[in-house]
Amino acid sequence: MTIEDMGKPSAAGEPGAPLLLVEDLQIELITEAGVIRTVDGISFAIHQGETVTIIGESGSGKSTTAMGILRLLPAGLAVLSGSVRFEGVDVVAQPEAIEKIRGRRVSLIPQDPMTALSPVHKIGRQIAEAVRLRRPELSRAAAADRAVYLLEQVRIPDPARQLSRYPHQLSGGMLQRVIIAMALAGEPVLLVADEPTSALDVTVQGGILDLLLDLQQTTGVGILMITHDLGVARLVSDRVYVMRDGRFVESGEVEQVVEHPRDDYTRALLAAVPVLGAWDEDPGTAPDPPPDPHATPTGMQTGEPR
């Protein structure tokens, strides 16, 4: 496989149409210093019941990719080109279509639940509002019942009691489960999980990842996982895409990428992972720092989006 083919979805041997098909996606951000291309021609696909992970260091473009495909980047400051198809609907060519897709067919699990929830409203009210936004025909009582069911689904004990609590009264792990419950309110076929465990204690992370995998097995939901953590990627992924400077430098099944990395950058990421008890070993060479985002790649003109 050549680097030009890296990350391109293949139709051969894949049963059914993909939930998400991204082809040659480019994202340019308009800043005072000029145009910055943060995502540069990536392609991938996600099918039902599959977890695809984009992994890379801070500044690689992975979270921008997630926000871009959901059309959550600032309007007028982000220019998208290429194709992003949710169940066949291209939200790059038809940006207005995302309003009927986001929160229903595809939902976001954000990084920090404390900033995603209102601190002045009770958990039950916030989940019920998410339910009624997706299913306006439901009464308030029915939405409250649905909120209890969703909390049960994410394994929160005594869910009816939790509805009357405020976010600050719950632990970080419990709050992340609340966020996952809200993401499930519209019964999505695809979850976009943007660093869903990065704000959690390491002892809590495993429980959240196990929850996502169990939900996937019971519902068949596809998952796009965004992470910088190779341990997370290895635990949950079917396929991995290694991202650097807005491009995929390597892709493949997770064990293949972890056990037999082909790219120097992937090997550097693996070498930088700390190993318990390996204090006397050579830690390896860390990846080079990301380049200046304002630097202009060859052939690109600043100040003018493509």
- Domain extent, residue 181, equals 112-187
Asked whether residue 163 is assigned to any structural domain, the reply reads yes
Looking at residue 43, what DSSP letter applies? E
Mean pLDDT of 267-272: 84
For residue 72, what pLDDT band results from cuts at 50, 70 and 90?
Answer: very high
Residue 176 lies in a domain: yes
Residue 58: name the closest of 226, 236, 249, 231 by CA: 226
Share of the chain above pLDDT 70, in %: 84
Residue 144 is assigned to a structural domain of this protein: yes
The domain tally of the chain equals 1
At 84, is the secondary structure helix, strand, or coil?
A: strand
Q: Which residues of 36-68 are buried (b: 16+ CB within 10 A; e: fewer)?
A: bbbbbbbbbbbbbebbbbbbbbebbbbbbbbbb
Within a domain: 179: yes
In a domain, 183, yes or no: yes
Average pLDDT over residues 76-83: 94
Predicted confidence at residue 5, as pLDDT, reads 42
Residue 87 within a domain: no
Which pLDDT tens digit goes with each residue over 171-190?
988 999 999 999 999 899 99
Structure-token match 């990421």, residue found: 269
Query: Whole-angstrom Cα distance, residue 59 to residue 56?
Result: 8
Residue 141 is assigned to a structural domain of this protein: yes
Span 136-163, pLDDT tens digits? 999 999 999 999 999 999 999 999 999 9
- Tell me the pLDDT tens digit for each residue of 191-223: 999 998 876 777 788 889 999 999 999 999 999
Answer yes or no: is pLDDT of 302 > 50. Answer: no
Token digits of residue 124: 């039950």
Q: Alpha helices, DSSP H only, in 111-200?
A: 113-116, 123-134, 140-153, 159-162, 172-183
Q: What is the pTM of this model?
A: 0.82
Asked if 166 and 201 count as a contact pair (C-beta separation under 8 A), the reply is: no
Reported as a single tens digit per residue, the pLDDT across 96-111 is: 999 999 999 999 998 8
Residue 237 in domain: no
Q: Is residue 281 predicted with pLDDT exceeding 60?
A: no
CA atoms of 112 and 167, how far apart (whole Å): 12
> What's the whole-number average pLDDT of the chain?
85
